[in-house]
Amino acid sequence: MIAFQQVKKSFSVNGKRLPILDVPQWTVAAGEQIALIGPSGSGKSTLLHLMSGVIPVDSGAISVAGHAIHQYSEAQRDRYRAQVVGYIFQDFHLISSLTARQNVELVLPASWGKKQRREEVDRWFAAVGLQDRQGHVPGQLSRGQQQRVAMIRALIGNAPLILADEPTGSLDFATAHEVMALLLSLCEQEQRTLVTVTHDLQLAELYPKTVHIRELNDLARSSDDPAPSASKGEKVG
Ligand code: ADP
Ligand code: MG
């Protein structure tokens, strides 16, 4: 489903290149559900942004669902993202002036007819337990309910890859646990590939597989190296 090969990403800050990711090789199988953990600033969000095609790689190859996205133009990456990726944000990104149902209707595939739109929206609101909240605007929903609406928005168009960046980061623990368990079970039922960033190890344990960014990113690995004699920050050769 996802394959990284020699992927490098750096950011330019005040004219200086700041290397963030160096991922020699990483694959995620179709239908796999992975919790991605690691310290703040270690490049987890950047990794999701690369997979979703929001930002391009500096070098290397990323293939997702048969799309060689490292070869794509920005417009091609936008099209890829619309077709392949459902994204869930920590702070929901719902439009506050629209009802829950309208927020979801915004993302429905243009090819769907009236009946399919109505049935699918009803089915998904029921699947997340919000059938009686469709007419509420986000401000009339709890934070957990808002994230459920955002989950529908990510899943309803049948995107094969769901990316979630700290989706429960702004929820209390009980709600976070509920929302995380729901996301996992929906992705499992629907056989979506899921990569979720979380800093909560207890929630990561709900996942069949947890990956620490240190296992993927050579830069994170070397910066965590406790060897005292190694001259940190200096690269030989
Ligand atoms: P994480 O999600 O693991 O907390 P991020 O992927 O957000 O980490 O960021 C990794 C590093 O890259 C951080 O040091 C951050 O400051 C830096 N960074 C992220 N985005 C940019 C950007 N657009 N420009 C410059 N630096 C960035
Ligand atoms: Mg982040």
**Mutation pick for ligand 1 pocket among 7, 12, 13, 20 (CB with most ligand atoms within 8 Å):** 20
Residue 178 alpha carbon to ligand 2 centre in Å:
21
- Report the distance separating Cα 101 and Cα 211, nearest Å: 35
Local structure of 56: helix, strand or coil: coil
CB-CB contact of 150 with 104 (8 Å): no
pLDDT at 226 over 60: no
Residue 41 alpha carbon to ligand 2 centre in Å:
7
* Closest ligand 1 atom, residue 166 Cα: 2
What is the rounded average pLDDT of the residues 215-234? 63
Nearest to 89 by CA among 175, 166, 171: 166
pTM for the model stands at 0.93
Residue list, CB under 5 A from ion ligand 2? 45
pLDDT-derived band of residue 237, with 50, 70 and 90 as boundaries?
very low
pLDDT recorded at residue 16: 95
Per-residue pLDDT tens over the stretch 91-105: 999 999 999 999 999
Q: How many Å from the N-terminal Cα to the C-terminal Cα in the chain?
A: 35
Two tokens, residue 19: 């290397």
**Mutation pick for ligand 1 pocket among 8, 10, 11, 37 (CB with most ligand atoms within 8 Å):** 11
